[in-house]
A = this chain, B = another copy of it.
Amino acid sequence: MTFSRCDLRALFFDVFGTLVDWRTGVAREAEAHLKPRGYALDWLVFADAWRTEYDPAMEEIRSGRMAFTKLDILHRRMLERILPRFGIADVTEDVLRSLNRAWHRLDGWPDVTSGLARLGRHFLLAPVSNGNISLLADLARRNNLRFDAILGAEIAGDYKPKPRVYLAATEALDLAPSQCMMVCAASHSRDLASAAALGLGTASVARPDEFGARTAVSVPETPVDIAADSLHDLADKLGA
């Protein structure tokens, strides 16, 4: 490991699952949009189904089979793919458009707002997420997260864990990879491993509830520089 805490200048954050609870948020939004239209579903199952389409959609871009397309548009395609499976057929364009923006209206885990405020006194902070800029700006506003810049997929024109996404973020801040640390939920091994392979520092945050109560690992399967329980624990371990 070439990472040294003394050189650390910037923290990069994965967002879905690491900073915000996408599962209960999407379920809540789906219920709010579809229940008034007479649908009764297990809304968490609906959220999981939507999210399950995520990686295949990313892979179309990462493989080069499809030109870069921002996540809002991919979310909409993913949504249209799952609707028939739930027997949802007669929803207006306005409702679909609003439902698709469920991903802009997610709540942070309880430690996130205060944890980022604390980390931000010592380091540059940026999301390095597959989310598009408007989505991340909306999540930041909603949860009072102060970032120095919004980096990630839309800046890089590709999706994590492709190396270009991490490197575009380091370059945007004029920093070497070793001056940056990627922070991800502990179960996001692929994201952490890709960042580590490029020379970024890595930190995991236990997010055991991302996929349902206590179902996700709290300790990563890939080596990391810091394994933390929360952003406050991360701040403690960084001496921040």
Identify the A interface with B (CB < 8 A): 72, 124, 132-134, 136-137, 140-141, 146, 148-151, 154-155, 172-174
B72 touches A133 (CB 8 A): no
Q: Collect the chain B residues with CB atoms within 8 Å of residue A172's CB.
A: 132-134, 154
- CB pair B134 A173 closer than 8 Å: yes
Most chain B beta-carbon contacts within 10 A, residue among A136, A137, A155, A173: A137
* B residues near A133, Cβ cutoff 8 Å: 149, 151, 172-173
Nearest-CB distance from A149 to chain B (Å)? 5
Are A148 and B155 neighbours in the complex by a CB distance under 8 Å? Answer: no
A140 vs B149: C-alpha distance when bound (angstroms)? 10
Partner of A149, one of B72, B124, B137, B173: B137
CA–CA, A124 and B141, complex, Å: 9
Task: Considering the complex, give the chain B residue whose CB is closest to the CB of A140.
Answer: B148
Write the nearest CB–CB distance from A134 to chain B, whole angstroms: 4
With a cutoff of 8 Å between Cβ atoms, the chain B residues found around residue A72 in the complex are 174
The 6 A-B pairs of least Cβ separation, nearest first, read: A133-B172, A137-B148, A134-B174, A149-B150, A134-B173, A137-B149
Chain B nearest Cβ from A48, distance in angstroms: 26
A72 to B174, CA, bound (A): 10
For A151, list chain B residues within 8 Å (CB).
133
Question: A71 to chain B: closest CB distance in Å?
Answer: 11
Shortest C-beta distance, A180 to chain B (Å), equals 12
Tell me the minimal C-beta distance from A74 to chain B in angstroms. 14
